[in-house]
Amino acid sequence: MSAIALTLGPVFFHWPAERLADFYRRIADEAPVQRVHVGEVVCGKRMPFSDPCWPEIIERLERAGKEVVLATLAAPATVRERRSIAELCGDGRLVEVNDFTALPARSGRPFVAGPFLNVYNEAAARFLAGQGARAICPPVELSLAAVGGMAGACPGVEFEMFAFGRLPLAISGRCYHARLHGLHKDSCQFTCERDADGLAVDTLDGQAFLAINGVQTLSSQVHAFCPSPDELAGHGIRRLRLSPQSCDMIEVSKTYRALLDGQEELDSARFILSCLDLPGKMVDGYARARPGWHAVAAVD
Amino acid sequence: MELVCPAGTPVALRAAVQAGAGAVYCGFRDGTNARNFPGLNFSVAEMAEGVRFAHAHGARVLVAINTFARVGEVDLWLGAVDAAAACGADAIIASDVAVLDHVASNHPEVNLHLSVQAAAATPEAIGFYAKTFGVRRVVLPRVLSVQEIAALNRNVDVETEAFVFGGLCVMIEGRCHLSSYATGRSPNLNGVCSPPEAVSYDEDRHGVAARLSGFTIDRYAQGEPTGYPTLCKGRFRAGDKTGYLFEDPVSLNAGSLIAGLKAAGVTALKIEGRQRGKAYVGEVVRAFRRALDAVEMGSDAVEIDRILAGQSEGGRQTTGAYKKTWR
């Protein structure tokens, strides 16, 4: 059985181009992740800012030996957004499909089904495999047991679990950053750029709850699913996905690598993660078949 | 345009049909449809009888099997499809590719409608479902403007159905995990959003807190009427602001846009509300029947507004995303 691989998911947030370039330079040089997903998946309006920097980032990552996957928009609407998906689907690299819009353009060629695609059961997974899905990262609300059930029934597909980062919970046609600032989406002034991990949304009683990122809603808490390698292998899971946050993602990826290689104990891995500058408390409810906000066992 | 009306129970089905529904939509009594509440929905025998009643009165029955099948339990969803076909359903409304595939492969005689839960909003996505499964009609996500719907209809060759009245989902349906994050139960997997068993109203010296799984979704002063804590219609704090961050506690009423939706090429208008009783369903369907007939006869907007005056879900209303300013 080969080792469980690590994937770095696409950045959900509106990071300036220089920040993206710096981030991926370090990932290329230092992060023990095998596959790196790049591209804008949340808001097509941000694409003009980041589009120019991807060629250099991709070259740098590939020269460092990473497999680059091109991620596509989760909720395309405009002609320009749809055209960008078709262009990405024509690339020779692997593509992360996050909406069925991409399937006709990618038909028959290999792709990764991203977490925004509704693949909830083994029959749907088999159908997508027939369309070209080589790897599937199922929706975040599915448990380890559920993903394991799919993996057991689809041995030809690589199953990947969303393991680290604020959970992508919802996407809308409406921009909440714009609405909060009294603006409309069409004239949003890109206020989402101010919040590198999204903007915290607390309840009226001060409970940390959600975070907004333009048209996206995330959890306030940070999903930090730390399984043992045996547990993952037993469920047929082949990859864990780490979703970029502004904390030290090199340290995050090294910690997961050490955990999966048996060089770090579960409790100490959780402790190391908890010491990073995370935007919220660590939770893993979804993976454990509980409400998503349920906390990871306490770390002393 | 076809008027597609909610039927949460056999009694509501009869009320909707008698009030002038062109079609009713309903589901079986289990988690295979997106309104899985105790006391709602149909047994197989009730469905067969509902179809007989509707057909005798010139209405169609569309069966919603539109949640996503759970791992290891796919047969429950496929069995619901077989049962709907055996009952003589005019169409099956589905979103899971496994369910769509089963209908296309085993019941080619049954019309297939793509549920709003599939969130298909581009010509490419709709074209994929049409080509792959023979989908005839697509229920559009409630986040598109009328202009966007018109542009979409120019680029697809399937029918489209648009919500005109009832609840308003502000997140793209089928892509929202907010309810499962807070409560463990979700629209996609369980057919419920912000489920009643997770709701509590707790009183303290400041008033009443409406909570969902312990998360305060809204607060009300002493004596102020309380609302249901639907997660995305609650009040929250973000930045230095407090308020209805995602959406006000409003419901959708696009009655004034019927003519615009018709001009945009929409084939069917959908009224939401399978949880509602027969009196509500009858009243709303009657009003929309008259409004739709008036539009078909070429009446002006003032006349339509007069017919629909007084139709509300007990509170404020919005035309939602149909007007671009909503975004």
Q: Which residues pair with A201 in a beta bridge?
A: A210, B238
User: Is the confidence at residue A75, as pLDDT, over 50?
Assistant: yes
Question: Which 25-54 residues of chain B touch chain A by CB within 8 A?
Answer: none
Q: Is A193 on the interface with B (CB under 8 A)?
A: no
- Chain A residue numbers with beta carbons less than 8 Å from the beta carbon of B120 are 100
Q: Which residues pair with B215 in a beta bridge?
A: B212
- pLDDT for B315: 65
DSSP-derived 3-state class of residue A159: strand
Mean pLDDT, residues A249-274: 96
Mean pLDDT, rounded, of chain A = 96
First to last CA, chain B: 27
Residues 6+ apart with CB under 8 A from B127: A104, B156
pLDDT band at A300 (very low <50, low <70, confident <90, very high): very low
- pLDDT for A299: 44
- Chain B residue numbers with beta carbons less than 8 Å from the beta carbon of A106 are none
Q: Is B125 on the interface with A (CB under 8 A)?
A: yes
Please state, as a whole number, how many other Cβ atoms lie within 10 Å of the Cβ of residue B117: 27
Burial of B224 (0-12, 13-18, 19+ CB in 10 A): exposed
- Chain A residue numbers with beta carbons less than 8 Å from the beta carbon of B221 are none
What token pair was written down for A103? 């399937």
Chain A / chain B CB contacts < 8 angstroms: 203
**CB pair distance less than 8 Å for B177 and A169:** yes
Between CA B131 and CA A124 the distance in angstroms is: 17
Please give the single-letter amino acid code of residue A65.
G
Question: Which 121-160 residues of chain A touch chain B by CB within 8 A?
Answer: 121-124, 127-128, 139-142, 145-146, 149-150
- pLDDT for B312: 59
DSSP-derived 3-state class of residue B57: coil
**CB pair distance less than 8 Å for A184 and B180:** no
- Chain B residue numbers with beta carbons less than 8 Å from the beta carbon of A83 are none
Residue A137 in contact with residue A113, Cβ under 8 Å?
yes
pLDDT tens for B247-277 read: 998 889 998 899 999 999 999 999 999 989 9
User: Is the confidence at residue A104, as pLDDT, over 70?
Assistant: yes
- pLDDT for A132: 97
- pLDDT for B318: 85
Between CA B57 and CA B59 the distance in angstroms is: 6
Interface test with B, best of A171, A210, A222, A283 (most B CBs within 10 A): A210
What token pair was written down for B242? 């407090």
pLDDT band at A297 (very low <50, low <70, confident <90, very high): low
**Cross-chain CB nearest to B183 (options A172, A210, A291):** A291
**CB pair distance less than 8 Å for A199 and B238:** yes
Interface test with A, best of B176, B181, B318, B325 (most A CBs within 10 A): B181
Ordered strands of the B199-204 beta sheet? B199-204, B207-212, B215-220
Q: Which of A112-116, A185-189, B122-126, B208-212 has the lowest mean pLDDT?
A: A185-189
ipTM computed for the complex: 0.96
Between CA B37 and CA B29 the distance in angstroms is: 8
Going by C-alpha positions, the residue among B25, B21, B5, B267 that lies closest to residue B160 is B267
Please give the single-letter amino acid code of residue A248.
D
CA angle at residue A103 from A100 to A108, to 5 degrees?
150
Please state, as a whole number, how many other Cβ atoms lie within 10 Å of the Cβ of residue B239: 16
Mean pLDDT, residues B135-162: 95
Mean pLDDT, residues B201-208: 91
User: Is the confidence at residue B305, as pLDDT, over 80?
Assistant: no
Q: Which residues pair with B212 in a beta bridge?
A: B199, B215
pLDDT tens for B51-107 read: 999 999 999 999 999 999 999 999 999 999 999 999 999 999 999 999 999 999 999
- pLDDT for B314: 56
Query: With b meaning 16 or more CB within 10 Å and e meaning fewer, what string describes A10-44?
Result: bbbbbbeeebbbebbeebbeebebebbbbbbbbbb
Q: Is B96 on the interface with A (CB under 8 A)?
A: yes
pLDDT band at B206 (very low <50, low <70, confident <90, very high): confident
Q: How many CA atoms lie less than 13 Å away from A157 in the CB half-sphere?
A: 33
DSSP-derived 3-state class of residue A259: helix
Residue B11 in contact with residue B278, Cβ under 8 Å?
yes
Residue of A nearest to B133 (CA): A127
Burial of A63 (0-12, 13-18, 19+ CB in 10 A): exposed
pLDDT band at A281 (very low <50, low <70, confident <90, very high): very high
pLDDT tens for A198-233 read: 999 999 999 999 999 999 999 999 999 999 989 999
Between CA B199 and CA B212 the distance in angstroms is: 5
Q: Which of A122-126, B42-46, B304-308 has the lowest mean pLDDT?
A: B304-308
